[in-house]
Amino acid sequence: MFVTAALPMVAKAARTKEMASYSAGNLVLSNAGNALYSVYVLTTPPGPLWALHAFNTAVALLMLAGWLRYGAPARTGWPIMAGTSSTTTTAKGRETR
């Protein structure tokens, strides 16, 4: 079920290179979770669990790599969270740094 759900997302991302809509936090946490879960998976005998985990990890890594390559917003510094800015707006509507 995961494979059939993930393939359209990966195919569209590969075809359009439009990655800005993906959340950096989600992609990073997915990869961190996969790394942690790998500790468990590698203690089990090889089998279907390994195949599913390998696919899941590959998808997460490809999506993160694609986001870093094509979708990461151009920022001039930290923090990189959406909605943050180094400018503020005064009561008269002027932007200041």
Could you report the per-residue pLDDT of 75-95, keeping only the tens digit for each?
Answer: 545 555 555 555 555 566 565
pLDDT tens per residue, range 5-17: 888 888 888 888 8
Domain membership flag for residue 82: no
Give me the DSSP letters along 4-18.
Answer: HHHHHHHHHHHHH--
Per DSSP, helices labelled H in the chain are: 2-16, 24-41, 48-66
pLDDT band at 42 (very low <50, low <70, confident <90, very high): very high
Report field, pTM of the whole predicted structure over 0.85: no
Domain membership flag for residue 6: no
Domain membership flag for residue 16: no
If one counts the domains in the chain, the total is 1
- Token pair of 52, please? 């599913």
- Token pair of 13, please? 């991302």
Rounded distance, CA 49 to CA 27, Å?
A: 21
Residue with tokens 């990461």: 72
Domain membership flag for residue 95: no
Domain membership flag for residue 53: yes
State residue 48's pLDDT score: 92
pLDDT tens per residue, range 54-76: 999 999 998 898 888 887 766 54
Query: Which domain range does residue 52 map to?
Result: 21-73
